[in-house]
Amino acid sequence: MDRLVITGGNRLEGQIPISGAKNAALPLMCAGLLSSDSLVLSNLPQLADIRTLSDLLGGHGAELKVERDGGPLNGGRTLSITTKDITSTVAPYDIVRKMRASILVLGPLLAREGEATVSLPGGCAIGNRPIDLHLKGFQEMGAEIELKEGYVRAHAPGGRLEGGTVHFPMVSVGATENILMAATLARGTTVIENAAREPEISDLANCLNKMGARVTGIGSETLTVEGVDRLHGGEHDVMPDRIEAGSYAAAAAITNGQIELTGDNLKQVLTGSYDVLKEAGLGFEQTDRGLMCWLKSDHIQGINVVTQPYPGFPTDMQAQVMALMTLCDGASVITETIFENRFMHVPELARMGADITVHGNTATVRGVKKLLGAPVMATDLRASMSLVLAGLAAEGETYVNRIYHLDRGYEALVEKLTACGAKIIREKADGV
């Protein structure tokens, strides 16, 4: 098993290209199951989750072909997905257990074939993330649902879903994406109420429209989808990763450095994190290539922040901002409202000298003068990045173990940070 070795205390300065968003790329890839024509996705990141989903799609009959591979530092990868025929409507446990987003094949399979059998999903252990909203949505569209032996078995009587009104009692990104894809091929019109508004959903809706779908209300809490008989192929650029952008902005601040994030519309992409990071003391300036980020003063400012659905502060940035706050001037209060078990990075940050007290879903972070390098263990994807950030600022060496979590969401992390002056290497750590 690999680990990262970080020698802290180096000021980061340089450019970091922001990769395509994992959370946009995964549903976009699943949309490739909706058409017998080719869907070509560019700016696709090379991540463990992308490889896992590629294996899953291949099992359903999709042919995946890399058309261009510029690498993470030069435009990313372009992938063609062609699913002439669905050869299997079963998504097996061995693949689905590795990644929660695998549940997103349920909607496309059910829409195109009228049936699907998908294993209950796995993923990071950051809290209870049930799929009941997905299933209730499909039932509102006429599907018959059965849970048996760890699998969801879904069937559309007559072979096709029916349009209807799907109201979510709470905002769910995954459920919105699943129902949105399924509704494109349903008979009649589907209205999705209290839909999630994350930019990744807008990215998906725009791609579906390029494929011939009829989706309106994009970016709002009410999506209207007029079903069509078939979708054709299309070409689409995956949006930049807003969590990666926010993470590297935090890296600039925690090392008192200056990093130019390169990519399109990054200020807009950072909605939700932008104001929080500015309050913490970051400066931002738009450039011809993207967005320059730096710490405006000698001190990180303490803040009070609450995670919320988009356009609020994203839960996927909570751990990184907490790492930043460990060195703040004064104290900070961070409240997590999305997942009930997303403070698992706190004990690891404490091993490095952080002063953090947790009461329920609220963490109080009192800034310390310095962090000290230590062996730490990653527990989930975003917690992993918080430990990397802490290691970049700490005195001495930090050993971040179980970095397979990082491989799921940060493309070429070592290469990008090294290019900005970080002392970070990846090495084997047998037995860890």
Strands 282-286 and 290-295: antiparallel
Which string of DSSP letters, residue by residue, matches 66-94?
A: EEEE--TTTT-EEEEEE-SS----EE-HH
Active site residues: 124
43 among annotated binding-site residues: no
E strand spans, 214-275: 214-216, 222-226, 234-237, 258-262
The Cα 3–Cα 426 span in angstroms is 6
Does a cis peptide bond (omega within 30 degrees of 0) precede residue 311? Answer: yes
132 among annotated binding-site residues: yes
100 among annotated binding-site residues: yes
Sign of CA dihedral 158, 160, 163, 164: positive
22 among annotated binding-site residues: yes
The Cα 413–Cα 407 span in angstroms is 9
338 among annotated binding-site residues: yes
The Cα 35–Cα 82 span in angstroms is 8
341 among annotated binding-site residues: no
Q: Is residue 424 within 8 Å of 418, Cβ to Cβ?
A: yes
The Cα 429–Cα 432 span in angstroms is 6
Structure tokens at 353: 């000298």
Residues, the chain, total?
Answer: 432
Which string of DSSP letters, residue by residue, matches 338-382?
A: S-TT--TTHHHHHHTT-EEEEETTEEEEE--S--B--EEE--SHH
Q: Is residue 102 within 8 Å of 151, Cβ to Cβ?
A: no
97 among annotated binding-site residues: no
270 among annotated binding-site residues: no
* Residue 198, helix vs strand vs coil: coil
Which residues are known binding-site members?
22-23, 100, 129-133, 316, 338
Known binding residues for UDP-N-acetyl-alpha-D-glucosamine are 100, 129-133, 316, 338
Residues annotated within the binding site for phosphoenolpyruvate are 22-23
